Amino acid sequence: MVSASDSTHWADQRERGSPLLMRLTAWAARHLGRRAVAPVVWLVVLYFYLTGRRARLSIARYQARLAAAYPQAALPRRAPVYRQYLAFAAALLDKLDAWQGRIRLTDVDLVDPDDVHRQMAGGAGQLLVGAHLGNIEICRALAEREQKLTLNVLVHNKHAQAFNRLLGEAGAEHLRLIEVSELDAARMLELAQAQARGEWIAIAGDRVPLTGERTVDVDFLGARAPLPQGPWLLAGLLGCPVNLLTCTRQDGRYRIELARLTDGVRWTRSTREREVARWAQAYADRLAQACAGAPLQWFNFYPFWRDDAQPRRP
């Protein structure tokens, strides 16, 4: 969770919460179980909810736009913003459970109409584009436990160092996390070489670069929002299939969805801008549908849309 600040960029917001408290919570969850630690988590979440006005407003804006675009989305009538905070806390505990081996394949429902999972067994690598929807950490943990493929995960973790340390203590020893501030030419070439060796690459499509550059505006839930160009520039360079990946919690189980977005993104210097905008919009459309299916599990706690009009204070 991040603190309110004058900066509008998510990565410039300071990390909130005591690392010691996070370690104690992780220890309690590991040794006493989630039920015993739940009241403490609720109190911590209540503190962040009461003191994080900027995040509350951002969540309320998201929920209002989701309800307008998808009236059938099952948002709770009572305290919907606070309930999203609680969903975020549950996802943090899920991350620790995943790396400690408490979440097994038997706890997961895989929806894979394009048979993407089978393709991980061999051949050239492919691109996985995820989102801050649900808990991709479960996918990372299961992939490492199976040890059937090398997964390069591109992350922006400037403000998540404490939690990354907890993941390491919980057992995430071999996952290849690559910190990036921006996908420059050298980094893209390195990833292209990894993909040619059969390694897969995972990247989030819903966080803008740290520099605020290389974005493209899309229509997302009825309003203009910037998305990063990086995934689609990288996809064009790799020339490999592009797949969408989400993992949400549904009725106490974990639902991993894999879907082929395209067999390949192709652009030239003259068509790059148009093709990047095309695939970013296709991604935004699919993300909106996924949010409607798990409305409390999209965890972006900062102003996301170009329109800076604020909703009524929650």
Q: Please tell me the pTM assigned to this model.
A: 0.84
Give the β-pairing of 215-220 and 223-228. antiparallel
Give the β-pairing of 242-250 and 176-179. unpaired
Give the pLDDT band of residue 91 (cuts 50, 70, 90).
Answer: confident
> Would you state the torsion angle of the CA atoms of residues 111, 113, 117, 121, taken in this order, to the nearest 10 degrees?
160
Give the pLDDT band of residue 23 (cuts 50, 70, 90).
Answer: low
Asked if pLDDT for residue 146 goes beyond 70, the answer is no
3-state SS, residue 273: helix
- pLDDT for 64: 96
Give the pLDDT band of residue 253 (cuts 50, 70, 90).
Answer: very high
Asked if pLDDT for residue 274 goes beyond 70, the answer is yes
Helix (H) or strand (E) holding 224: strand 223-228
- pLDDT for 160: 43
Task: Return the number of other C-beta atoms located less than 10 Å from residue 113's C-beta.
Answer: 9
Half-sphere exposure of 178 (CA within 13 A, CB side): 18
Residue predicted with more confidence, 57 or 311: 57
Pick from 125, 123, 101, 269: which is nearest to 194 by CA? 125
Give the pLDDT band of residue 63 (cuts 50, 70, 90).
Answer: very high
For residues 176-205, give the mean pLDDT: 83
- pLDDT for 35: 77
User: Which DSSP state fits 283?
Assistant: H
